[in-house]
Amino acid sequence: MAVGEKGSLAMLNAEMQVSEQAFSEESARLAALYATGILDTGGEAAYDAITRLAAEHFGADTVVIGFGDETRYWIKSHWGDSIRERPRHSSLFDMVLKSGNVVEIADLAACVEFEGPCLPGKRCEFTFGAAAPVCIADRRIVGSLTIFNVHSRLPLTAEELKTLESMAEMVSNLVELRRLRKTLTRQQTRHTRAKDEQTPKSEWPHSNDLRRALERGEFTLYYQPEVDLATRKIAGLEALIRWRHPDRGLVPPMEFIPAAEESGMILPIGDWGLAEACRQIKEWKKEDSRHASLRVCVNLSARQFLREGLADHVEALLEQSGTSSRQLGLEMTESSLIPNMTTAQEVLGGLHALGVSLSMDDFGTGYSSLSHLHSFPFDTLKIDRSFVGRMTGSEQALQIVRTIVELARVLGMDVVAEGIETQDQYQLLRQMGCRFGQGYLFAKPLPATDISKLLRLPGRVLPDPERVPAEIAVA
């Protein structure tokens, strides 16, 4: 065989290897895409909330969330001009696939054949576009978040690029959660059925037990500091209910709150908790006038939240105790909002008008949290402890926390990370710009008398957790 022929054969073999590798990578990417089950699904508020948020933030004419299979770029959500499914050839999505990063095109009419309004025979009007990759667990790119503008503009700034990537990460987290739910639903259903069949129903506590406990004054509030992560100053407190049972000792809430919810006793118990928190706020202010800036947050159950006249009830408690509305915060989970969205909007609007701080608790664990942020006047997002606890061992959990912090920054909201237990978690949260946090690294939930001792520390600054055990001494 001639030397030239050998060279040609070597080149052909190399090309075939490259082609096989590309085919293998594309097959793996498609398998990852199909595992999400997202193709050809209906609209979802969470995705629509992201396109709307991106449009508002970037002043874009059109924003699209789409996913690419073998031949097409399928649209899951769009804001602005109507967009149709279209071939992938010369698409921004293909450019994102090749680069693996954000792609910016300043002359779409010349570089991209199909991006633009889907009116038949209408020439592309967009001149500027930028697309960020949407990935799942192993960082395989399955889609993109793309913004379009009619008028050409300068390239995005470094901060704008970071924000676009963060918004694409929000989409990635939603898609990954969809994949996990799809994969685990059957296993969870089987596990739940088996557990229900094997575990006898708890017979304690009955509603009478809870009623007697309330009448005898056996419930008490513990308080856990919310700390400014940069200064370690106590910025606020979360009120957490406990039951001092004469025989069983200190009973944690997970052992009696479900029974209180089911029996309806959660309403009088919740009323007591709100009144007690307001009374304690007044006591701390009496101890030191500088504590007037201290805010105490109280968790509301779903039944409390949806009860008619909640705003009037809270206003009456504030007036009776002489407590300023800015010193009271109310926390609720997303699940308490979902049953009646119209009522939820009215209730939150009333509470917001009072000047009470509103927090969405356990943010990131619900299915439609992003859309709710646009619908409701929340001031604070609380990052669920399940994400904070897995940050150092799970890239996905780390990305979710980073995305929530960035989302709060974009929306001008505060963010509180729950369940901080290690120095690594503390440092990571500080590095990503999370302002507030709470957890055993700083202080466990404590009785009001012990909290009073912490509040007397100079400047309300807790000791450096690097030098003090998690169980902070309150001498």
Which parts of the chain register pLDDT below 50? 3, 5-6, 8-20, 22, 113-123, 196, 199, 367-368, 468-475
Model confidence pLDDT, tens digit, residues 106-134:
766 555 544 444 434 444 567 788 999 99
**Distance separating alpha carbons of residues 99 and 103, to the nearest angstrom:** 8
DSSP state of 467: T
| Whole-number pLDDT of residue 450 | 96
E strand or H helix at 446, and its extent?
strand 446-447
| Whole-number pLDDT of residue 74 | 85
| Whole-number pLDDT of residue 372 | 64
Place of tokens 């509030």: 221
Measured CA to CA in angstroms, residue 282 lies from 222, 233, 236 at distances of 16, 20, 14
**Which alpha helices (H) appear in 37-62, and where do they start and end?**
45-58
Model confidence pLDDT, tens digit, residues 257-287:
999 988 889 989 998 999 999 999 999 999 9
What pTM did the predictor assign? 0.64
Closest to 51 in 3D by CA, of 90, 5, 82:
82
| Whole-number pLDDT of residue 469 | 45
Which residue segments constitute the domains of the chain, with CATH numbers given? 45-181 (3.30.450.40), 207-460 (3.20.20.450)
